[in-house]
Amino acid sequence: MFRQQNYFAKLAIFAVITVQLLVLMQAREISQCGSKAEEFIENNDPICNTIYTQVYCNGAGSAYCTNDGCEEEFECTAPTTTVSTTTYRRKCESGMEFVEPYPDSSRYYYYCAKGYFGIRDCGLFMLFDGINKKCKIKK
């Protein structure tokens, strides 16, 4: 009898921990909220602000919002654009300089310097930030 009660007590604790972990896994905190609680702020994320104009800040209950309301399920990713190597190579003419993300790996990027075209590597534990156009430490 005692073993059975002990078993059910452990099972109940395991169930509670599992439910809490599932809730934490689904919770998304939006970095621009910081310590703000229960307030709307303007969305200053350059990738997301075209779709979601505001952010509702409330810890793990934060959400991106449109003019029609807030979204419980949201995804904020950069729009995908496919540009081939030959397109960038053609753009790279004498006197031109640019850097662009490499589509197959975030570790690499295209560069053009005074008409010389190439692909560069950010290095280990680094990735290319396509918005700021520079390598940064992978988090």
Which whole number is the average pLDDT over 73-81? 61
- Helices and strands, number each (H, E), in the chain: 2, 9
Could you tell me the pLDDT band of residue 128, with boundaries at 50, 70 and 90?
very high
Q: Which two tokens stand for residue 96?
A: 């031109």
Q: What is the pLDDT of residue 26?
A: 43
Domain edges within the chain: 2-70, 85-137
Residue pair 94/114 in contact (Cβ under 8 Å)? The answer is: yes
Q: What is the pLDDT of residue 43?
A: 82
Sheet holding 108-113, edge to edge: 97-101, 108-113, 116-121
Q: What is the pLDDT of residue 21?
A: 43
Mean predicted lDDT score pLDDT of the chain: 76
Min mean pLDDT across 10-19, 40-49, 85-94 is at 10-19
